[in-house]
């Protein structure tokens, strides 16, 4: 079956611009996670959705970061006023709510 | 809080030899542990998990991992390495304990298998 998909695969933007990253989870998966992977920080948790609710936003690095999930499916991660330190690979994962998380291919964000 | 550590940045193995990628953990209660593999410019692929039961867990691509409670380790192993196994390997566990919730990851171990 289809796995987790993310778009765009690559995004280059200028400092100060807003960006939106999209995640389509595996059909039927109720839990959705966003992580960030960067050279200096490794893999960091950003936010977790159960259905459309986000019980854990503890990993969002600043108020420039926000995310939403609609219809218990697609999620969008928005970064406002991007900074160079936001450059990273943003990974989305989904699970059926019990254990294994399945990851998408990621979006590579480059902020110039 | 839980933690997962991978003490080796890189592991080098000759093709055909056995490989081990190390992971140690610190959790309260019963640990739930995972191994993922990442190929260049790709997302993470699930390899195997330990939830409960047998300490030797078998996973994808011939990999297995041994859960050792006394040593708080969950090392990834394969009897005979392939060049195509060269990749970045991550050990992970749920931050809040239990089987759900966000994962915390080790820093990753780069496996290089030479012909």
Q: Is the pLDDT reported for residue A57 higher than 90?
A: no
**Who among B32, B49, B105 is closest to A43 (CB)?**
B105
Over residues A78-98, the mean pLDDT reads 93
- How far does A91 lie from chain B, in Å, by closest CA? 7
Q: B59-68 burial by CB neighbour count: b if 16+ within 10 A, else e?
A: beeebbbbbe
Angstrom distances, CA of residue B67 to CA of A39, A91, A110, B15, B52: 29, 27, 39, 25, 10
Is the pLDDT higher at A24 or at B3? A24
Give pLDDT, residue A41.
73
Res. A19 pLDDT band, cuts 50 70 90:
very high
Q: A6-37 burial by CB neighbour count: b if 16+ within 10 A, else e?
A: beeeebebeeeeebebebbbbeebbbbbbbbb
Q: Is the pLDDT reported for residue A69 higher than 70?
A: yes
**Who among A45, A59, A99 is closest to B99 (CB)?**
A99
3-state secondary structure B57-93: EECHHHCEEEEECCCCEEEEEECCCCHHHCEEEEEEE
- How far does B45 lie from chain A, in Å, by closest CA? 7
**Cβ atoms A101, A2 nearer than 8 A:** no
A63 touches chain B (CB under 8 A): no
Interface of B with A in 21-50 (CB under 8 A): 32, 34, 36, 42-46, 49
Mention every residue, 6+ apart, whose C-beta is less than 8 A from residue B57.
B48, B49, B50, B64, B65, B66, B67
Give pLDDT, residue B8.
96
Give pLDDT, residue B52.
81
Q: Give the whole-angstrom CA distance, residue B56 versus residue B67.
A: 6
């Amino acid at each position: 079956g289809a796995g987790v998909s993310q778009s765009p695969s690559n995004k280059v933007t200028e400092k100060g611009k807003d960006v939106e990253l999209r995640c389509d989870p595996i059909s039927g998966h109720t839990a959705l996670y966003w992580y960030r992977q960067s050279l200096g920080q490794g893999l960091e948790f950003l936010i977790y959705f159960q259905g459309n609710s986000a019980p854990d936003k503890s990993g969002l690095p600043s108020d420039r970061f926000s995310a939403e999930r609609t219809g218990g499916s697609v999620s969008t991660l928005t970064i406002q006023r991007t900074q160079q330190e936001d450059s990273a690979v943003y990974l989305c994962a989904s699970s059926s709510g019990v254990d294994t998380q399945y990851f998408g291919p990621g979006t590579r964000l480059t902020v110039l | 809080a839980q933690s997962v550590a991978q003490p080796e940045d890189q592991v080098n193995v000759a093709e055909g030899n056995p490989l081990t990628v190390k992971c140690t953990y610190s959790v309260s209660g019963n640990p739930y542990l995972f191994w993922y593999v990442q190929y260049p410019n790709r997302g993470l692929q699930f390899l195997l998990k330990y939830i409960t039961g047998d300490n030797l867990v078998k996973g994808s691509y011939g990999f297995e991992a041994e859960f050792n409670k006394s040593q708080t380790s969950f090392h990834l192993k394969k009897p005979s390495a392939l060049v195509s196994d060269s990749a970045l390997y991550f050990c992970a566990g749920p931050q809040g304990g239990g089987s759900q919730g966000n994962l915390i990851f080790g820093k990753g171990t780069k496996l290089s298998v030479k012909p």
